A = this chain, B = another copy of it.
């Protein structure tokens, strides 16, 4: 029996080239092409369809995922059970739940595809082996953590020092594409406001 068409179709856009993964390594100061290729060889291809979860709360994050194409969001829940978008991820980033991944504990967060996504992943054991085998890759891996940490510190500072409208204006300037891919209600909770307030802020903002 033939499988239904939708199960065997591979979108034409899926080229499965590690080009951008290798570029990402290069930007992260992995200067030896041989080492970049060696590392990339341990990453496997993965797609996540729009709406699907790359990580489900309660499970252990075991994919250190380089997002090649598409957009993802991370979300947790508040005390009343409402979803709160904790991060919005664009292509060219590593996406995973740091605490669950490295401590091997159940994740508090979910990671969901906002659009159809493609990328490359490696699991904890293989990543750790590579870290211990390759000093350059350790430095690279630390750089990924440091960059993420610094970004979150900056975001926390803006939560303290800026108004909702200023945070909105800043996101619109630095990450305009996300508005094409994430629902406004997700962007609202990411900015720390309600969707109602974001709607009003956008209305005011468009007048200027």
Contacts and interface: CB of A to CB of B under 8 A. Distances in A.
Interface of A: 76, 78-79, 84, 86, 98-99, 102-103, 131-132, 135, 138, 142-143, 145-146, 148-150, 152-153, 155-157, 159-161, 189, 192
B152 A152 contact: yes
B99 A149 contact: yes
B102 A142 contact: yes
A159 B99 contact: no
B86 A156 contact: yes
Copies in the complex: 2
27 contacts: A78-B157, A78-B160, A78-B161, A84-B157, A84-B160, A84-B161, A86-B156, A98-B146, A98-B149, A98-B150, A98-B153, A99-B146, A99-B149, A102-B143, A102-B146, A103-B143, A103-B146, A132-B135, A132-B138, A142-B142, A145-B145, A149-B149, A149-B152, A152-B152, A152-B153, A156-B156, A159-B160
A157 B102 contact: no
Contacts of A98: 146, 149-150, 153
A77 to B, nearest CB: 9
Nearest to A86: B157
A104 to B, nearest CB: 11
Nearest to A166: B79
B131 A138 contact: yes
B99 A161 contact: no
A192 B160 contact: yes
A-B complex: 7 closest residue pairs judged by Cβ atoms: A78-B161, A99-B150, A160-B192, A102-B146, A159-B159, A149-B149, A145-B145
Contacts of A79: 161
Contacts of A103: 143, 146
Contacts of A102: 142-143, 146
